[in-house]
Amino acid sequence: MAEKKRARGKGGKFLADDPDTPENEAWVEETKPKAKTKPKAKTKSAKTVALPPVGSAQYKALLLRGEIKE
Percent of the chain with pLDDT over 70: 94
pLDDT exceeds cutoff 90 at 57: yes
* Amino acid at site 68: I
Domain with 29 in it: 1-33
CA atoms within 13 A on the CB side of 17: 9
Biggest CA pair distance of the chain: 88
The pLDDT, as a whole number, for residue 29 is 86
Mean pLDDT of 19-47: 81
Model pTM above 0.75 = no
Categorize the per-residue pLDDT at 46 as very low, low, confident or very high, splitting at 50, 70 and 90: low
Q: Do the domain assignments include residue 3?
A: yes
Residue 51 lies in a domain: no
Q: How many domains does the chain have?
A: 1
pLDDT of residue 58: 92
